[in-house]
């Protein structure tokens, strides 16, 4: 399955949920915002939201500072 992740083409071996993709990317424990095809996916839906072929996914994580 082919997707775009943060503007870069990516091939996934199998269908994943948002939560599975975040774990695969090493972001499973981080507070992130996920957008698929221009729509925000609420955190409570990450485990059930499937990623489809051709999806454009943006993952943004907040940086702390002072």
Write down the domain spans for the chain. Answer: 2-61
Tokens coding 42: 């609420």
Contact status, residue 22 vs residue 34, Cβ threshold 8 Å: yes
Question: In this model, does residue 16 exceed pLDDT 80?
Answer: yes
Query: Which pLDDT score is estimated for 32?
Result: 93
Q: What's the predicted TM-score (pTM) here?
A: 0.88
Give the CATH number of domain 2-61.
Answer: 3.10.20.30
CB 7 within 8 A of CB 57: no
Residue 61 token pair:
């994580």
pLDDT at 28: 85
Radius of gyration of the chain (CA): 12
């Amino acid at each position: 399955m082919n997707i775009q992740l943060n503007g870069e083409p990516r091939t996934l071996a199998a269908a994943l949920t948002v939560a599975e993709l975040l774990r695969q990317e090493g972001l499973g424990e981080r507070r992130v915002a996920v957008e698929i095809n221009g729509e925000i996916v609420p955190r409570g839906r990450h485990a059930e939201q499937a990623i489809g072929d051709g999806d454009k996914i943006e993952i943004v994580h907040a940086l702390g500072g002072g």
